[in-house]
């Protein structure tokens, strides 16, 4: 049996998007938090742009512009990458832990505040919408992710956020099943791994 786990050598470009919300797929760029070793897929600013594109909150043309701006300003890009990792871990704890940590909430509030302040109201053929300007500001890749987390945290849907039941996976997802019975980030990945582990435990016992 092929053992397929979220700890495989996937990258932000190839990882599954099972979270059900942009901020949860962003959280899932790391796994193995419980007992380690941490699988870190956000290895630099480019990866922040890539995950924002993949979850649909950044157009490819905007991504290209940000990659170019980052290449011209490596220290600034590194600083936004560090901000992204800190934001991601705060979002993980806010959704995965029962007790809200004040520091995590303050961090998200700061990032979401900047994100909302940067939004523009514009008219389109279909009506009006909030959007972010086409910009060289490297934080542009973070804004919609922080806004997504603040929106989910303040909605009724936040009660449906679950952590994968597999040991040390730590992926978060929105359980939209009718009876709220979903246990795994992906049945084909962590669900099968758990089944295989029970099977081999029985074999050893036999």
**Site membership for Zn ion, residue 171 (CB under 5 A):** yes
Check binding of 42 to Zn ion (CB under 5 A).
no
β-pairing verdict for 120-124 and 30-31: unpaired
CB of 73 to Zn ion, least distance (A): 36
Binding mask 115-154 for Zn ion (x = CB under 5 A): ----------------------------------------
Comparison of 48 and 166: residue with beta carbon closer to Zn ion: 166
User: How far is the CA of 161 from the CAs of 50, 96, 132, in angstroms?
Assistant: 24, 8, 27
Q: Where are the beta strands (DSSP E) in the chain?
A: 30-31, 39-40, 120-124, 127-131, 161-163, 172-174
- Residues in the interface with Zn ion (CB under 5 A) total 6
Segment interacting with Zn ion, rule: CB under 5 A, options 42-50, 116-124, 156-164, 175-183: 156-164
- Closest to Zn ion by CB, 84 or 190: 190
Query: β-pairing, 172-174 with 161-163?
Result: antiparallel
Is residue 164 a contact residue for Zn ion (CB under 5 A)?
Answer: yes
Q: Cα separation of 121 and 126, whole Å?
A: 13
Supply the minimum distance, in Å, between the C-beta of residue 182 and Zn ion: 11
Query: Which residues make beta-bridge pairs with 127?
Result: 124
Find the largest Cα–Cα distance for the chain.
Answer: 68
For residue 193, the minimal CB distance to Zn ion (Å) is: 8
Residues 6+ apart with CB under 8 A from 84: 42, 45, 48, 141, 142, 145
| Residue among 112, 169, 172, 174 that touches Zn ion (CB under 5 A) | 169
**For Zn ion, which stretch binds (CB under 5 A), given 63-71, 87-95, 119-127, 165-173?**
165-173
List of residues contacting Zn ion (CB under 5 A): 164, 166, 169, 171, 185, 190
């Amino acid at each position: 049996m092929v053992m397929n786990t979220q700890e495989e050598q996937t990258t932000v470009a190839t990882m599954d998007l099972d979270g059900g919300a942009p901020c949860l797929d962003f959280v899932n760029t790391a796994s193995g938090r419980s007992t380690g070793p941490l699988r870190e897929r956000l290895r630099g600013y480019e990866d922040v742009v890539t995950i924002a594109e993949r979850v649909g909150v950044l157009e490819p043309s905007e991504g290209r512009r940000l990659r170019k701006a980052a290449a011209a300003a490596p220290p600034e890009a590194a600083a936004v990458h560090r901000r992204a990792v800190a934001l991601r871990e705060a979002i993980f704890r806010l959704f995965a832990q029962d007790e809200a940590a004040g520091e995590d909430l303050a961090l998200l509030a700061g990032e979401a505040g900047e994100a909302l302040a940067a939004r523009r109201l514009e008219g389109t053929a279909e009506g009006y919408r909030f959007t972010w300007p086409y910009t060289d500001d490297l934080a542009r890749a973070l804004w919609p992710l922080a806004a997504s987390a603040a929106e989910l945290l303040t909605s009724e849907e936040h009660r449906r956020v679950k952590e994968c039941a597999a040991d040390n996976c730590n992926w978060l997802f929105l359980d939209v099943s009718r009876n709220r019975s979903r246990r795994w980030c992906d049945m084909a990945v962590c669900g099968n791994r758990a089944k295989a582990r029970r099977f081999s435990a029985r074999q050893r016992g036999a």
